[in-house]
């Protein structure tokens, strides 16, 4: 347990000694802030007057907050591979992986430690992002349930991105290839959702397999334990594959 | 002294390693006593690095058994690795950390208790002459200092066995002399295995030498009574090459 925290915290720190993490946080925050203000403006000037007379009008949590988290999920499809690509591929390239594999720790601890590092970054990112909708609570009443579901959904979605990225990073020694493969896989799962929900040829199976389908139900404010289980299975599955890959490295050389 | 001679730190027997069909190490025996510096010598591709990777648990042998200080490396890798310090060909250092940060991280990975961590890092820093660069980024250090950080990392947790893969490659003559003195010093209380191409180096620091060629031991003896190691080395390697040639000619005829 101690080793997992040691690796996780050091990985987290190392992200911030290079400009990569800072620039990613800054760019993503800037773009999302723009989207947030755009949505807020539209809501105040156009939607609010229209829905004023309705009996149960959609509120700001439905229209602005959900949209923000959805955009965050979409943008992170591109950004997450950049974070995870370093984890094993860069260590392989710089031949530093021997430090971990020669230490008295198991491969499971190495993988969980690396994953913890990425997870801390994800939590930081979602926390920064959540400051925007939270700032609305000064002026209006937020639907806290919906807000919490959306934030939890985003954390789970990004955690699943991270697990997939970690595995693909362990397969190669070129960080760029790891990033491209991760991006491809994540995008493919989105395409699965689109093809599953298209009219006529749609299939429930595709929607179920895609990580985005489960994310959307969180955004609607629905906390379904089957969605949670989907993400947990996804994460555990990819982490297990990563551990197996490291074991295999030792055996195959 | 007699007692020390009895204490076997490394016992590897019947060690073989195949990369698919290619046999890199063939039925090798390696033994190391306490207070002994063993030099692994051989031409490129003789299996030195493969042997070292197997002895440090980074590569699983196809056949054979490895005991480190009486602990089976394959059955209890974590307990056995606690007894090993390993410097691979490329020092596994993170360029974006300072020397102090890096060594503290290594101490955590090697299960050095919190209270002793600072003392352990200080001791390794002092032994490897790194006091003056403790706060500098490893990426900004010269190759020689990086190599010393690599050695500091290997002796940090006071392991019984220290395994160094070509520790003096790329260093200037002064640094080489310092590293050799350090190895001699370490050899008094640890068991050390080091690999090298440089014959005078073996004569300068090693008590015993094991020459490998094509994955087999062709010479394994102390240096007492050996007048010219160079002569012995060339005799062994070329005799074998001649024998192989003769054999090939026979087959051809």
pLDDT tens-digit readout, B165-219: 988 877 788 888 888 888 888 888 888 999 888 888 888 888 888 888 888 888 8
Question: If pLDDT is split at 50, 70 and 90, which confidence band does A183 have?
Answer: very high
A1-5, A54-58, B42-46: least confident range: A54-58
The minimal CB distance from A253 to the residues B59, B82, B94 is found for B59
pLDDT in tens, A63-103: 788 889 999 999 999 999 999 998 899 888 888 888 998 88
pLDDT number for residue A202: 66
Residues of B whose CB is below 8 A from A104:
77-79, 81-82, 109-111
Does B46 score more than 70 pLDDT? Answer: yes
The minimal CB distance from A98 to the residues B17, B77, B92 is found for B92
Mean pLDDT, residues B109-137 taken together: 90
Q: Do B96 and A17 touch (CB under 8 A)?
A: yes
Pick from A182-186, B126-130, B244-248 the range whose average pLDDT is largest: A182-186
Q: A75 near A159, Cβ under 8 Å?
A: no
Q: B137 near B60, Cβ under 8 Å?
A: no
Task: Supply the range of the domain harboring residue A80.
Answer: 2-252
Does B8 score more than 90 pLDDT? Answer: no
Instruction: Give the number of domains in chain A.
Output: 1
Residues of B whose CB is below 8 A from A105:
78, 109
Give the whole-angstrom CA distance, residue B103 versus residue B109.
10
Q: Do B92 and A97 touch (CB under 8 A)?
A: yes
Q: B19 near B61, Cβ under 8 Å?
A: no
Pick from A165-169, A193-197, B39-43, B203-207 the range whose average pLDDT is largest: A165-169
Find the helix packing angle between B173-189 and B114-127, rounded to 10°: 130
Cβ count near B123 (within 10 Å): 15
Q: Do B57 and A18 touch (CB under 8 A)?
A: no
Residue in chain B lying closest to A4 (CA):
B109
On whether any CB of chain B is under 8 Å from the CB of A164, the answer is: no
Q: What is the dihedral of CA B229, B230, B233, B236, to 10 degrees?
A: -110
Q: Do B109 and A94 touch (CB under 8 A)?
A: no
The minimal CB distance from B97 to the residues A14, A101, A251 is found for A14
Q: How far B109 CA lies from chain A's nearest CA (Å)?
A: 6
Mean pLDDT taken over chain A:
88
On whether any CB of chain B is under 8 Å from the CB of A10, the answer is: yes
Tokens of B148: 């010393």
On whether any CB of chain B is under 8 Å from the CB of A7, the answer is: yes
Q: Mapping DSSP to helix (H, G, I), strand (E, B) and coil, where does residue B164 land? A: strand
pLDDT number for residue A199: 74
The single residue listed with the structure tokens 């102390």 is: B222
Q: Do B106 and A104 touch (CB under 8 A)?
A: no
Mean pLDDT, residues B45-61 taken together: 88
Q: B23 near B68, Cβ under 8 Å?
A: no
Give the whole-angstrom CA distance, residue A96 versus residue A92.
6
pLDDT number for residue B4: 45
pLDDT number for residue B252: 66
Mutate to test the interface with B, among A13, A98, A112 (most CBs of B within 10 A): A98
Does B48 score more than 70 pLDDT? Answer: yes
Mean pLDDT taken over chain B:
85
Q: Which residue has the higher pLDDT, A209 or B251?
A: A209
Instruction: Answer left, alpha or beta for residue B215, where phi above 0 means left and psi between -120 and 50 means alpha.
Output: left
- The side-by-side arrangement of strands in the sheet containing B84-87 is B84-87, B161-165, B191-196, B37-41, B208-213, B216-222
pLDDT in tens, B74-102: 888 888 999 999 999 889 999 999 999 99
Give the whole-angstrom CA distance, residue B55 versus residue B49.
10
Q: Do A17 and B110 touch (CB under 8 A)?
A: no
Does A166 score more than 50 pLDDT? Answer: yes
On whether any CB of chain A is under 8 Å from the CB of B110, the answer is: yes
Does A253 score more than 90 pLDDT? Answer: no
Question: If pLDDT is split at 50, 70 and 90, which confidence band does B1 have?
Answer: very low
Q: How far A9 CA lies from chain B's nearest CA (Å)?
A: 10
pLDDT number for residue B89: 87
CB pairs under 8 A between A and B: 75
ipTM surpassing 0.90, yes or no? no
The DSSP H or E segment spanning B222 is: strand B216-222
Tokens of B1: 């002294």
Mutate to test the interface with B, among A1, A14, A101 (most CBs of B within 10 A): A101
Mean pLDDT, residues A153-159 taken together: 93
Q: How far A210 CA lies from chain B's nearest CA (Å)?
A: 37
Q: Do B95 and A94 touch (CB under 8 A)?
A: yes
A120: Cβ–Cβ under 8 A, 6 or more apart, which residues? Answer: A8, A9, A12
Does B2 score more than 50 pLDDT? Answer: no
Q: Do A99 and B106 touch (CB under 8 A)?
A: yes
Q: Enumerate the β-bridge partners of residue B164.
A: B87, B194
Residue in chain A lying closest to B92 (CA):
A96
Q: Do B58 and A17 touch (CB under 8 A)?
A: no
Give the whole-angstrom CA distance, residue A161 versus residue A122.
10
DSSP B19: E
The minimal CB distance from A103 to the residues B17, B96, B109 is found for B109
Give the whole-angstrom CA distance, residue B119 versus residue A147.
49
């Amino acid at each position: 347990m101690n080793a997992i925290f040691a690796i996780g915290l050091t990985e987290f720190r190392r992200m911030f000694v290079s400009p990569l993490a800072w620039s990613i946080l800054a760019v993503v925050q800037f773009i999302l802030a723009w989207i947030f203000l755009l949505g807020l403006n539209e809501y105040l000037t156009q939607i609010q007057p229209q829905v004023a007379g309705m009996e149960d009008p959609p509120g700001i949590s439905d229209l602005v907050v959900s949209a923000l988290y959805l955009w965050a999920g979409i943008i992170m499809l591109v950004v997450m591979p950049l974070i995870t690509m370093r984890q094993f591929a860069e260590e392989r390239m710089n031949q530093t992986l021997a430090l971990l594999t020669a230490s008295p720790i198991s491969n499971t601890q190495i993988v969980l430690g690396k994953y913890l590092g990425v997870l801390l970054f994800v939590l930081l990112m979602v926390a920064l992002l959540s400051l925007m909708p939270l700032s609305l609570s000064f002026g209006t009443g937020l639907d806290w349930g919906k807000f919490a579901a959306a934030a939890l959904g985003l954390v789970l979605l990004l955690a699943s991105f991270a697990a997939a990225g970690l595995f693909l990073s362990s397969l190669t020694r070129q960080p760029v290839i790891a990033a491209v493969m991760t991006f491809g896989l994540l995008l493919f799962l989105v395409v699965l959702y689109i093809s599953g929900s298209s009219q006529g040829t749609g299939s429930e199976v595709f929607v179920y397999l895609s990580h985005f389908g489960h994310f959307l139900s969180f955004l609607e404010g629905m906390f379904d334990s089957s969605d949670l289980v989907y993400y947990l299975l996804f994460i555990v599955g990819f982490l297990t594959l990563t551990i197996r890959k490291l074991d295999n490295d030792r055996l195959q050389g | 002294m007699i007692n020390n001679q009895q204490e076997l730190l490394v016992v590897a027997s019947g060690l073989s390693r195949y990369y698919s069909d290619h046999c890199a190490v063939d039925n090798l025996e390696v033994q190391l006593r306490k207070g002994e510096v063993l030099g692994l010598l051989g031409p490129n591709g003789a299996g030195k690095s493969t042997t070292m990777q197997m002895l440090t648990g980074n590569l699983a042998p196809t056949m054979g058994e490895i005991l480190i200080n009486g602990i089976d490396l394959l059955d209890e890798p974590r307990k056995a690795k606690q007894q090993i310090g390993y410097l691979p060909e490329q020092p596994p250092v993170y360029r974006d950390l300072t020397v102090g940060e890096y060594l503290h991280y290594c101490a955590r990975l090697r299960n050095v208790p919190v209270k002793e961590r600072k003392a352990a890092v200080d001791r390794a820093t002092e032994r490897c002459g790194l006091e003056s660069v403790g706060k500098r980024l490893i990426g900004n250090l010269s190759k020689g200092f990086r190599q010393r950080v690599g050695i500091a990392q290997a002796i940090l947790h006071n392991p019984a066995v220290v395994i160094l893969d070509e520790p003096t490659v790329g260093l200037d003559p002064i640094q080489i002399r310092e590293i050799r003195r350090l190895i001699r010093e370490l050899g008094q209380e640890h068991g050390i295995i080091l690999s090298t191409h440089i014959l005078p180096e073996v004569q300068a620091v090693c008590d015993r030498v094991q020459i490998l060629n094509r994955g087999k031991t062709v010479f394994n003896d102390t240096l007492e009574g050996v007048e010219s190691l160079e002569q012995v080395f060339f005799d062994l390697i070329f005799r074998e090459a001649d024998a192989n040639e003769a054999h090939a000619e026979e087959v051809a005829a």
